[in-house]
C-alpha cells in the first residue's frame, strides 16, 4: 500500500497477505460474540458489535478506502478536549494557546482556530502553518531557544502577540530587528524555576540542567532592558516545565515562582498583563491518573491569589493526543525462539515515540478474534532493532488483521520521517459519518522530487 500511485485516493478491496482469511461475512462470523475484555478507549472511539469505530465510521472501512498505515483523528474528540480547557477558566480572562508542535496539520489548526484557540509556536514554519489555517497572529506566542533572524523578522511583520524570550542574546537580537523595522516587540521572559515535572527526562523542560528559560535573577535584568528599550515592550511572564504531567504539584510550584517574580517586578515599576503557565497535562496512555483541566486551573488561580492578570496556557497533547489512532495491518506473524513477532506495515518512521521514549501506547485489535491470545512484540519493517510499536502485547492475530495504536494524535505524525525511503501515511479527520482526507498519502516518487543528479 505504501507504493500504490492511487493509494489514499480511491476505494480498494483489502486482502490479507499470505492468508486466506477475508474481510467478508465469514470474517465477521469468527469474531467474538461478546467483548468481555473491552479495551479502554478514549473519546471519539468505541466498539460496536466487535468492530472498532471512529465516531460513526468503522475502522476497517477506512482501511479499505484509504489503505494502511493510516492516521485517523476524531473531530469531536478534539473539540471536546479544547472546550474542557476553555471551560476550566470559568469566566477568568484567559487564552488557550494550542501547542502546534503536537499536531500541526492545517485542518486541525483550522478547527481549533474556529473554536477561538490561540497558538504556541516554536518555529517560523509553525507560524506559517497557523496563518495558512486562518489563525489570528494576535493570539500567537512564539517560544523556543533558537529563533533565527528570519523567523523573528517574519513574526514581527506578522504582528504576533508576544515572544517568549529565553536568553539575553535572543532579547538583543529581537531588539535589533524590531529597531530596524521600526516596530515595538512584545516580550515575555521564560523563567526556568528549577522544578522537577516528574515526567520523561527528554520532555522535562523546567530544571536548571535543561536548555530552556532563565533564572529569576537573570529575568529581572532582562525585564529592565526591555523596560528601557524603545523597541521592546514587556507584556508577560511565562514558564514551561514539561509535558505529560500527571500531577498538579509541579505546576503549582512553578506558578508560585511566577507570582513572586511578578510582585518583585511590580515593585520596580514593571507591570505585566499576562501570566503564561506553559505546558500541558498528560493523557491516559495506559493506567495513568490524570487531573482534569478544571482541577489544575482552579489550583493555579488559588495560587495566584489577587493577581488580576490574563492567564495563558499551552496545551497540545491533552487536546489531540487521544483524538488520534494509527491504523496498521499485520503483514507477517513470526515465531522466534524466545519471542513472537507481529510485523505490521507501520514502523518507527511513522510513530517514533516507542523507539525514542520507550513510550507505551495501547494497541487494540480492530476486529476482535476468538481464540487463545499470544504474547507479541508489534514491530515494523524498518531495518532497526529499535523499530517497535509495542512489546509484550497479548493479542489474537492472524496475517491481514488490523491493529489500532491509540493515543497517536500528538507527537506522532508530527515526528514522522521518510527513513528507509518510506512514504508517510495519509491523515484522515472523521466528523460523524464523514471521513475527510486532510493529508494525502505520500508517493515514493515524492521523496526524491527535490533531489538532483
Active site residues: 383
CB 54 within 8 A of CB 430: yes
Is residue 364 a contact partner of residue 50, using CB atoms and an 8 Å limit? no
| Number of residues assigned to the chain | 453
Closest of 37, 36, 16, 39 to residue 26, by C-alpha = 16
- Give SS3 for 355: helix
Q: Which residues of 135-148 are buried (b: 16+ CB within 10 A; e: fewer)?
A: bbbebbbbbbbebe
Distance between CA atoms of residues 403 and 393, nearest Å: 12
The answer to whether 147 and 163 have CB atoms below 8 angstroms apart is: yes
Cα R_g (the chain), whole angstroms: 24
Q: What angle do CA 148, 150, 154 make, to 5 degrees?
A: 120
Q: How far is CA 399 from CA 55, 61, 67, 374, in A?
A: 26, 18, 16, 14
Our measurement of the distance from residue 269's CA atom to the centroid of its chain's CA atoms, rounded to an integer in Å, reads 38
Q: Cell numbers at residue 351, please? A: 510513530
- What are the cell numbers at 328? 496498521
Q: Nearest Cα to 171, choosing from 142, 199, 192, 196?
A: 142
Taking the C-alpha atoms of residue 395 and residue 283, their distance in angstroms, rounded to an integer, is 24
Amino acid at each position: 500500500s505504501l507504493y500504490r500511485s492511487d493509494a489514499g485516493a480511491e476505494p480498494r478491496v483489502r486482502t490479507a497477505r499470505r492468508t486466506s482469511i477475508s474481510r467478508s461475512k465469514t470474517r465477521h462470523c469468527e469474531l467474538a460474540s461478546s467483548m468481555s475484555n473491552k479495551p479502554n478507549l478514549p473519546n471519539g472511539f468505541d466498539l460496536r458489535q466487535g468492530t472498532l469505530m471512529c465516531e460513526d465510521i468503522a475502522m476497517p472501512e477506512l482501511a479499505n478506502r484509504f489503505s494502511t498505515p493510516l492516521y485517523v483523528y476524531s473531530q469531536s474528540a478534539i473539540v471536546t478536549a479544547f472546550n474542557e480547557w476553555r471551560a476550566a477558566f470559568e469566566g477568568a480572562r484567559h487564552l488557550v494557546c494550542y501547542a502546534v508542535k503536537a499536531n500541526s496539520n492545517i485542518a486541525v489548526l483550522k478547527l481549533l482556530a474556529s473554536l477561538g484557540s490561540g497558538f504556541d509556536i516554536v518555529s517560523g514554519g509553525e507560524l506559517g502553518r497557523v496563518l495558512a489555517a486562518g489563525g489570528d497572529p494576535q493570539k500567537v506566542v512564539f517560544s523556543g531557544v533558537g529563533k533565527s533572524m528570519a523567523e523573528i523578522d517574519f513574526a514581527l511583520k506578522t504582528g504576533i502577540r508576544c515572544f517568549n524570550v529565553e536568553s539575553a542574546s535572543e532579547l538583543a537580537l529581537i531588539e535589533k530587528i524590531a529597531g530596524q523595522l521600526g516596530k515595538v516587540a512584545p516580550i515575555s521572559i521564560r523563567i526556568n524555576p528549577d522544578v522537577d515535572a516528574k515526567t520523561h527526562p527528554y520532555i522535562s523542560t523546567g530544571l536548571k540542567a535543561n536548555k530552556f528559560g532563565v533564572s529569576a535573577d537573570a529575568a529581572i535584568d532582562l525585564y529592565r532592558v526591555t523596560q528601557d528599550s524603545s523597541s521592546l515592550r514587556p507584556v508577560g511572564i511565562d514558564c514551561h516545565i514539561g509535558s505529560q504531567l500527571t500531577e498538579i504539584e509541579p505546576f503549582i510550584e512553578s506558578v508560585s515562582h511566577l507570582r513572586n517574580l511578578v510582585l518583585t517586578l511590580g515593585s520596580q515599576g514593571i507591570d505585566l498583563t499576562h501570566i503564561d503557565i506553559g505546558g500541558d497535562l498528560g493523557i491516559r496512555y495506559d493506567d495513568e491518573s490524570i487531573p482534569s483541566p478544571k482541577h489544575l486551573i482552579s489550583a493555579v488561580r488559588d495560587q495566584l491569589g489577587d493577581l488580576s492578570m490574563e492567564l495563558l496556557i499551552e496545551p497540545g497533547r491533552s487536546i489531540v493526543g487521544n483524538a488520534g489512532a494509527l491504523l496498521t495491518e499485520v503483514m507477517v506473524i513470526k515465531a522466534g525462539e524466545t519471542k513472537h513477532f507481529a510485523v505490521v506495515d507501520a514502523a518507527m518512521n511513522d510513530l517514533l515515540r516507542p523507539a525514542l521514549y520507550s513510550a507505551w501506547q495501547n494497541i487494540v485489535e480492530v476486529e476482535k478474534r476468538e481464540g487463545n491470545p499470544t504474547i507479541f512484540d508489534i514491530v515494523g519493517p524498518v531495518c532497526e532493532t529499535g523499530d517497535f510499536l509495542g512489546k509484550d502485547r497479548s493479542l489474537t492475530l492472524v496475517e491481514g488483521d488490523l491493529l489500532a495504536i491509540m493515543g497517536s494524535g500528538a507527537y506522532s505524525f508530527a515526528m514522522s520521517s521518510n527513513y528507509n525511503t518510506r512514504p508517510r501515511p495519509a491523515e484522515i479527520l472523521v466528523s460523524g459519518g464523514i471521513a475527510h482526507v486532510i493529508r494525502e498519502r505520500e508517493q515514493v516518487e515524492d521523496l526524491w522530487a527535490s533531489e538532483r543528479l
